[in-house]
Each structure stands twice: as structure tokens, then as C-alpha cells.
Structure 1
């Protein structure tokens, strides 16, 4: 009887929590970092601000591509289709239709997601490597169609006149703050998505699609939703590229190199985690800044580095430092908090 009461007392002190010491520290550090980044334009030069906008674009692309491949199990080599679509949607909305350029950003994301709906029904007929090649072909079709539209400059591209009314320094600073808001919203949305019931379905889908289907997960609907979210994220990245460069060209926004960058960032950071793409994007950005003067040669080095990670560190950098998933910087998992007595016994 005494043993039964003691067990009941122990179980009453046990509780399931999403928060761990590491996630509390990580979330707090992230909030402080966001505040510091918001003040950065007052402290750095214009060239560094431009570079930071590039980092924010990479963070968005890495995080959303990881949702697609790391959780949805769909390795796409054609997300540049939605980068271009987002950039040209911004140009069309702001310059041709007179929509406020900053209001055009979420509208362009919605347009990218809507276009992705019929595209998904075509792309999802393919699996594995065929899906990857098929998405690249779809992106090329987007580029070829865009070239045929004279209203957006055809093959020569088009400049964004909606931003011309801003003074140069103010335009760059505002563009930086808008990019910061976008990356916070995108990464925060990824965290909330993984925390949700749908996130559990995605985790099951990532681990074993067949088992997930037998457990009641609608595999096709889940994959399609992730595909739409990833397309919207790529569209947001495209709008930021357009605002930063003030010019959109098909050869730039539809370049397959964007997909190569996404794959590299997620692979070296850690596929199927929230922290990995962030780490991979930062590392890639630092390498890009340090080695850009070597031209295309640095891309060869990045390729070799990516191959080494695939062969010898498939869990990526975050997998190496997180002690096999026991450390989280975001409160997305579940942890059983045991009584102090139980902890001491263990």
C-alpha cells in the first residue's frame, strides 16, 4: 500500500513540457539577437547592410526548403520557380498596378502559393529523382514563359521604379528592416508549424510515410500543404531580392544555382531540424563573403564540402553538436520532467 501511494505521488509530480533549459536559452538568445539586428543599420555601413539582406534571404530559403525536403521528403531542384514568381509578382503589383511595394510582399507570397497548387498536381505525379528533375523542368518553363512577357521586360528584365522615391540610405535601411521582419515571420512560422498537430504528422511523414499513412495521416494533403508553404517562402525571398537589387532578370531569379545553395545549406546544417538550416545558412553566407573574390572556384570548394558532409556527417553540423537530438533551441519537442528523486536514481 505504501509503495502504491509513493508511486502515485511520484507520477503526480511528473509532467510533460515543451520547454527545456536549452530551448529557453535559445529562444531568449534569439529574442535578444532580433533586437540587436533591428538596431544594426545605425551601426554598420551600406555594404554590410546589403550583405545582411542577402543573409536573410538565405535563411528564408534554407528554412522553407528544409520543410519541403527535411519534413515532407520531397527533394526539389526547382524552388527558383517561386523565387522568380515572387520577384515578378512584386514588380507587377508595385509598378504596373500601383500597390504599395511593402504590401505587395505578402500578396506575392500568396500568389506563389496559389500558383503552386496546380503545379503540385503535376509535380506529385513524379517521385524520387524524377520529382527533383521535374521541378527543375517546371522552373525552366516559368523562365521561358516570363521571357515572352514584354510588360515585365522579357529576357532583358525590368527595374523596380516603385522604390525610386525613397532616398538611397532610407531605402536600404527600410529594405533591411522589411527583410528582418520577413525572416522572423518565416522562421517563427516554421517553429509554430512543427509545434502543431500538423507538425507531428510531418515528423511521422519524415520518418516513415507508409507508417504515417496507416496511422491516419493524409500523406498527399500534408505534402501538398508543405509544398505550398515552401513556395510562399521562396516567393517572399524573391520579393526581397527584387527590393534589394531594384532589378529583376530571368537569368538571375530563375537560376538553378538557388536550389544548389538551398541544398548545400540544409545538408551541412542538418536536414529535418529547425536549427540546422539556420546554421547552414550562416556558414554558407560567411563562406560566400570570404571566398567570393575567387569567382566560380569557390563553388567547387562548396561542392566538395557538401559531398564530405553527405558521406561522413549525414546529420549535419547540428546533428554533431546537439547530442543526437537531446538539445533543442526551439520548444518543439516533448520532455518528461521527472521528480528530483527519480533523477537522482537515474
Structure 2
């Protein structure tokens, strides 16, 4: 009886091929929505896409990189104010200014990383929150940006409502789909392997020649860029900003809720978590504080019963992966 003649490394699965087809259909439906969906539906979907993209960025940081940040609202706020500065005061097209808002957040991430990377574990998490509060206080004292009361996006005045809404929606769809696709590509690359290795053990990663600080810096800046895009996009849709809302801790709290509920360390998890969060919000929004209690109860139940999250549990039990990033060795006969 002859033994195996070799092996091959497998990245895709049957589920991933089904997932690719479903993703293509979903994208086709999504990008055509401005032609047939109502304004209210599009505004809600833009908000959903903002939190999905932000949750994916936090998941990349914490779930794959082991960087537990509770200060991503700093980059959300800076990205949003970057939009207002460029559009209202520098004369940049507001839609182009969304990208500039993301770049502003990425630039801020460089000095923030230089400070916070000196901290470990819980100290790193608290350090990122402190940075967010410093950013909020600093922006609150800049009268050019409206000070503590904020300002409206006056650059959008005179633009037809239909054009504004459809373009904003297409930008939101492009950012969300692009972030998921780019994150998937990164995690399937050698960089993604290095990132997850660092999450599991920094010491072991260093012994294998991985430049730990450089990899962590790259993923931190990328997550800041994505968070900045989310902030700029959200307030492009809202048309008004204030420091209290742009740097609100709820940004990261909701992102953590979405990731933990869906399944940390999976690309599918934030999608499931986003659907659960907005489903509960729309269902219970009329019940006041009961809505928040229901969210908390849901989080507690999931963490106790399914500590891997909803999708994490399904994936572990049935080995179902629509976005596989693991490499598997298959023996050749």
C-alpha cells in the first residue's frame, strides 16, 4: 500500500465559496439601493455599516492582534473633525474630505502608538481611553471647529438632497465592503500570520524573527485609519458634530458588544453581532432603559452560555468558515 506522495496547503473551503457567492449578491443589492430604497432606510443602513466597519477594526486590533483598546473613539472623533476642517474651512469637497479624515486619524495614531505601546495589558487599554479624553478636551477648546457646542457641515448646503444621500450611501458601502475585504486579505497574508502569532505569544514571535513592534504599529495605524473613515462617514451623514458625541465612549462600547456577541477573532462575528445589536435596538427602542438592560442581559447570557460568541461557537462546533484565514495541510495520495 503506497503512502501519500506529498501535500498541499488549502485556504478555501466549500463554505467559503458559498460565502463568496452570497457576498457578491449582497454587494450587488447594496450598491443598487439608492435607486429604489427610501431615505430613512438608507440612513439606517449607513449607520449599520459604520458600526460594522468600526467593529471589524476593533476585532482586528483585539481579536487578531491582542491589542485591547477602549480609546478608538479618539480616531472616530479626529476623523470626523478632519472632515469638518477640510470641508468647511479648507474648501475640500466633503466626499473627498472623508478620506482625508481617515488619513488624519492615521497620522494621529503614530504619536499615540509611541506613547501607549509602552504600556501593557490593562494599562494599554486605559491609556488609549485617556488619549481619547485628551483629544475630546483639546477639540472642545478649538473655536474654529465650534468649541464645545460643535458645528454643522455647511459645505453641504446647496447640494441636492438626492445626490447627497446616494453618494453618502455609496461611500459607506465602499468603505464597509473595502474594510472587510482588505482585513480578510491582510489576515490571509504572511503579515496576518505574524499578527496572530504575536497575539498568542510575543516572546515566541520574537524568537521566530518577527518584528513585533513594527507589526503592532502597522495594525494600530490601519485600525485608526478605518476608525477615522467611520467617524467622517457617520458625521457626513449626520451633518452636525459636537465633541461630546464624536468622542463618546459609546463608540467603542457598542463595537466591543458587537464583537463579543458575534465572536471575537472571526470575520463573520462582527457581522452577526451588528445584526443582533441593531435588531435589539429597533425592537426595544421604545422601551427606554429596558433597551439598555436587554442589551446587557443579552451580553451576559452569550458570554456565559457561548463564551466564543454566537458565530465563534458555530464555527468551533461545525467547522463552518465563510472567511477562512487558517491554512490547512491536505495529503496527496
What range describes the TM-score normalised by the shorter chain of this pair?
A: over 0.9
Contact conserved, 1:112 with 1:232, CA < 8 A, in 2? yes
Contact conserved, 1:319 with 1:325, CA < 8 A, in 2? no
Pair 1:152-2:148 in alignment: no
Cross-structure match for 2:167: 174
SS of the aligned residue for 1:16 comes to strand
Larger radius of gyration: 1
1:338 is displaced (CA, Å) by 4.6
Q: CA RMSD in A?
A: 1.6
SS of the aligned residue for 1:323 comes to helix
SS of the aligned residue for 2:9 comes to strand
Pair 1:11-2:5 in alignment: yes
Cross-structure match for 1:109: 102
Q: Residues 282-321 of structure 1 correspond to what in structure 2 (within 5 A)?
A: 282-321=275-314
How many angstroms apart in 1 are the aligned matches of 2:16 and 2:328? 11
Q: Count matched residues.
A: 333
Contact conserved, 1:20 with 1:335, CA < 8 A, in 2? no
SS of the aligned residue for 1:176 comes to helix
Normalising by structure 2, report the TM-score.
0.95
Contact conserved, 1:24 with 1:331, CA < 8 A, in 2? no
Q: 1:222 to 1:325 in 2, by over 3 A?
A: farther
1:314 is displaced (CA, Å) by 1.7
How many angstroms apart in 1 are the aligned matches of 2:289 and 2:112? 32
Give a deviation string over 1:229-264, Cα, whole Å, max 9, x none: 111111010011111100111111110011110110
1:275 to 252, 268, 279: 268
1:327 to 304, 320, 329: 320
1:227 is displaced (CA, Å) by 1.2
SS of the aligned residue for 1:162 comes to helix
Cross-structure match for 1:44: 37
Q: Residues 137-216 of structure 1 correspond to what in structure 2 (within 5 A)?
A: 137-216=130-209
Pair 1:221-2:214 in alignment: yes
Give unmatched runs, 5+ long, in structure 2: none
Give a deviation string over 1:131-173, Cα, whole Å, max 9, x none: 2222111111101000110111000101112222321232112
More displaced 10-residue stretch of structure 1: 156-165 or 287-296: 287-296
Normalising by structure 1, report the TM-score.
0.92
Contact conserved, 1:19 with 1:335, CA < 8 A, in 2? no
1:277 is displaced (CA, Å) by 1.3
2:82 to 72, 86, 89: 89
SS of the aligned residue for 1:336 comes to strand
SS of the aligned residue for 2:154 comes to coil
How many angstroms apart in 1 are the aligned matches of 2:320 and 2:67? 26
Contact conserved, 2:95 with 2:168, CA < 8 A, in 1? no
